Every structure is written in C-alpha cells, then in structure tokens.
Amino acid sequence: MTISPDTRTHYVPEDLPTHLQHYIDGEFVDSVGGATFEVLDPVSNTTYATAAAGQREDIDAAVSAAREAFSNGPWPRMKPRERARVLNRIADAVEAQESRLAELETFDTGLPITQSRGQALRAAENFRFFADLIVAQFDDAMKVPGAQINYVNRKPIGVAGLITPWNTPFMLESWKLAPALATGNTVVLKPAEFTPLSASLWAKIFKDAGLPDGVFNLVNGLGEEAGDALVKHPDVPLISFTGETTTGQTIFRNAAESLKGLSMELGGKSPCVVFADADIDAAIDSALFGVFSLNGERCTAGSRILVERSVYAEFCEKYAARAKTIVVGDPHDPLTEVGALVHPEHFEKVASYVEIGKTEGTLLAGGGRPDHLPHGNYIAPTVFADVAPEARIFQEEIFGPVVAITPFDTDAEALELANNTKYGLAAYIWTNDLTRAHTFAQSVEAGMVWLNSHNVRDLRTPFGGVKASGLGHEGGYRSIDFYTDQQAVHITLGTVHTPKFGATDPTATA
C-alpha cells in the first residue's frame, strides 16, 4: 500500500513551532554539532518542523547539568512538602493548557482530538498523585529489643534517564517525570522522535512552577543516537524505558556495562476472553474500545479476542457490524473515533499486517485504507475472524486498528490460547461466573487483568507486564521504590557485643 503526501490544506494549529530545541540547564539549545531531523504530521505527511538531533555530546551536556543539580542544587534536599507544592503547580499548569496540549498532540500523533483532550488531565493527575504520595510517605523503623534500632533512610538516586514512545507521548512522559522528580531525582528525558512536539511544552511549565534549572533536561533525537548515549552514560544510574520489546532488549544489554537500575514497559498482544455467560453487548463495547481507541496504538490493546464457540457467530457478526461504522477521519474532527497512524513507516507496518491477515483469517471488516481518505496514514478498523493461534497476526504486536478473533470450546483451551504468545501485559475477561473469573485471572500470564471492564486504572495499582512485556512494575509506591535507594541504618543500643578477634595472646600457655 502506498501513501502520497496530502497537498491540500489541512488543520494546522496556530503558532506552531517550526524548530524544536533541546532544553538543558534551563536554556533552549541546539545540538552542539548542529544536527537536526525532520518531523512530519501524520495527516499531510509533510515536514512541519525540524528538531535538534541529540548526539553523545548533547547527552553529556544534559547529564552534566542534571548531575550538578543533583549534587549541589536544592531539589533533592527540599522537604517533600516543598517539592509537592512545585508538583501541584505543574499539575495546575498542565490542566490550564488542556486544549492547547490536545491540539498539538492530535496534530503530531494523529490521535482523535476527543481522545487527546483527556491526556492533559491524566498527566496533571500523575503530578498531583505523586505530590500527595511523597508527603504521606513514611519508612520502616525496627527495634531489636536491647540490641539495635534499625531504620530506612530513603534517598533519591541521581540522574534518571527517561526514554518514551510516541503513543500518547505527553501523558506517558508524565508517568515517568512525576515520580522521578517527586522523589528528588534530576532527569534527562529523551522523547520519541516521531512526536517531539508536546514534550517542548514541559520546559516552560516546569520553569514557571519553580523547578530549579538543571533538574529537568530534554534532549530530542533518534533512539540509536541520543537514546543510546543516555543508556550508556556512566553518570546515569537509572533508565525508565517504555517502548518496543526489541528496543528494551538492546537497552538491557547496553545498560549492563554500568549496572543501571532498569524499569521496562514493553510491547503487548493482550487477550480479551469472552465467555458465553457474559453480558455480550457490554463485552462488545469494551472489546471495540480496547483495540480501536487511540488508533489501536495502545500497549494494552485487547488485540486478540477469544470467544466461546456457542456465542462466537453472534459475537463476530455484531462486532464486525460495529467496527464498520466506526468513524475514521481527520484527527481534529470531534466526531472522529479513529484518526491517522503516527508516521508513514508505522502505516506501512500496519498495512503489511493487514495484507498478512488476509492470508491468515477471514476478513470481516476494514482491510486497508478507507475509500474516502486517499491521503494520510489512515487504516479502517480491521477485523479478522477464525485466526489460528500460530498465525502472525495472533502472535505479533501490530499496534494499529487490527484485531484477531479466535473461538474456543473450554476454559482450559481459553487459558491456553490466552497464554500462547511471548507477551504478558494485560488480559480482559468477560464472564458472569465469579469463580471462573477469579480462577482464570490467577492463571493468565498477564501483569494486569480486568474482569468485566475495559482498561480503567487507579494510579495506586502496579503497572507492568510479565514475559516479553516488561521488567519491574511502576505505579504508586512501586514507582517511589524504583526512583529511590533504601539505605538501612543500624544503631547499637547499650553496649556493643563484638567478638574480640586478635584479643587472645597466642603465646600464653593454657
């Protein structure tokens, strides 16, 4: 499938920057060597801006500023309440920019505007949540009667390297920025090169909120250059990464040299399991939203739907009918439900999976570019039924509006199918049988399970995957644990009883 640039006029936000710089030590700067890369919008596929392309020396400058702010600046030494005040001001500023942020995010990513609007509120909530958490935070103290008092001295770790993907970029950046900053670390953020626009808003938001210079640094650039240099930097003890599993594997190898702390949120191919006793209409609503919201560019998408055979035909028919009526179109149109995929490279990847799917399953809806949208990265919501578990569209993450439906006969078969991929991020289970729901949840290989629900998450709960979907969990106090050292301090009570090595005179006779 080919895409041609759209030469017609299309919606362009006012005052759109034409050049995006790094932000290092409180200043906007270009790359030391002047390197840049081009940034496209996904509707016209034309370049709307250049961005500074960070190289090793730019990462060095950012890490050095962050290191100085950590070693000698006020931020790590401020009381939690003082840091919390700054975080709350950041949250207020993010909320106040909701419509501008949504407009920029939609322009840069192709996400439908109605879905971009929620991102600012979720990003703001991350800052408020961690502001509350650090103020309420307390640590363990233990008494060993008559011998010792032990307590935990929790400390920020240093410069945290934050590497983020292009789906919901601003919101996913806030997931890492909020806990890393709340705990007193300083940071270098390397946002995704497909979507650098919204990250450029952070610098002013942070400065106006009173975050000291050098605490937040941003380096734009390609993963293999700026991202790689950040991962390999010896003065960066922590990397929090969200992105593809294969990138995570590369980062894991590269971080070994300096033994960094790693948090990895990786890819997914999550099952949505629908039993015959479920509320089928509610399951259909959820299974549609689960894979077609955010253009299907969603790590927790329920992109494999497993349906009990007695309701399989009914489910497929109703599901496909609804998929066909999903509104695909201009991301800035409030009626749009599926917008444009982020980049022509990604469009080509998703389109190639649609072609593979035509040889692996029965096409029930979609199947490629919608007729009414000859330009831009548009793919119609695509539904394949009767997909065998060894099919590539059952096994591989497509990260677009494409879903595979497969029937099952027994609970055991449903579980086997659900677990039959290398991934283990999320699982969605639809049944009105309480015992079955909980039994299935215990055995399914997924970091997060939703019973009779789409993806609704409370910020206190752990977020993360198992198997190839990730390492470690963030969310709530687990994020606090990732971004802090817990030093154990032991104090003697009374007289110290130490074995007296060397205190016996070896020449003395018995």
Q: Which residue numbers are catalytic?
A: 265
Binding pattern to ligand NAD, positions 287-306, x when CB under 6 A? Answer: ------------x-------
Looking at beta carbons, which residue is closest to ligand NAD?
223
Of positions 87, 163, 215, 316, contacts ligand NAD by CB under 6 A: 163
Q: Which CB atom, from 191 or from 407, has the smaller least distance to ligand NAD?
A: 191
Report d(CA 386, CA 357) in Å as an integer: 11
Q: Which CB atom, from 262 or from 278, has the smaller least distance to ligand NAD?
A: 262
Cβ-contact 358, 367 below 8 angstroms: yes
Q: Which CB atom, from 214 or from 227, has the smaller least distance to ligand NAD?
A: 227
Report d(CA 121, CA 126) in Å as an integer: 9
Q: Is 192 among the residues that bind ligand NAD (CB under 6 A)?
A: yes
Of positions 166, 216, 347, 428, contacts ligand NAD by CB under 6 A: 166
Report d(CA 356, CA 350) in Å as an integer: 10
CB of 70 to ligand NAD, least distance (A): 21
The string of DSSP letters for 86-142 reads HHHHHHHHHHHTHHHHHHHHHHHH---HHHHHHHHHHHHHHHHHHHHHHHH----EE
Q: Is 202 among the residues that bind ligand NAD (CB under 6 A)?
A: no
Handedness of CA 174, 470, 261, 129 (dihedral sign): positive
Lookup: tokens for 497 = 């009883």
Q: Is 243 among the residues that bind ligand NAD (CB under 6 A)?
A: yes
Site for ligand NAD in 367-406 (CB under 6 A): 397, 399
Centroid of chain to Cα 457: 13
Q: Which stretch binds ligand NAD (CB under 6 A): 212-220, 245-253, 326-334, 478-486?
A: 245-253
Q: Is 164 among the residues that bind ligand NAD (CB under 6 A)?
A: yes
- Residue positions counted in the chain: 510
CB of 23 to ligand NAD, least distance (A): 16
Q: Is 424 among the residues that bind ligand NAD (CB under 6 A)?
A: no
Of positions 105, 193, 330, 337, contacts ligand NAD by CB under 6 A: 193
Report d(CA 302, CA 397) in Å as an integer: 11
Report d(CA 454, CA 387) in Å as an integer: 22
- Integer distance in angstroms from the first to the last C-alpha of the chain? 95
Q: Is 171 among the residues that bind ligand NAD (CB under 6 A)?
A: no
Of positions 165, 302, 329, 344, contacts ligand NAD by CB under 6 A: 165
Cβ-contact 330, 336 below 8 angstroms: yes
Question: What is the β-pairing status of strands 19-20 and 47-52?
Answer: parallel
493-499: long-range pairs with CB below 8 Å, 24+:
493/144, 493/146, 493/147, 493/148, 493/149, 494/146, 494/147
Lookup: tokens for 317 = 């028919």
Q: Which stretch binds ligand NAD (CB under 6 A): 11-19, 76-84, 216-224, 499-507?
A: 216-224
Q: Is 110 among the residues that bind ligand NAD (CB under 6 A)?
A: no
Q: Give the residues lining the site for ligand NAD (CB under 6 A).
A: 163-167, 172, 190, 192-193, 222-224, 227-228, 231, 242-244, 247, 250-251, 265-268, 299, 397, 399, 425, 465, 470
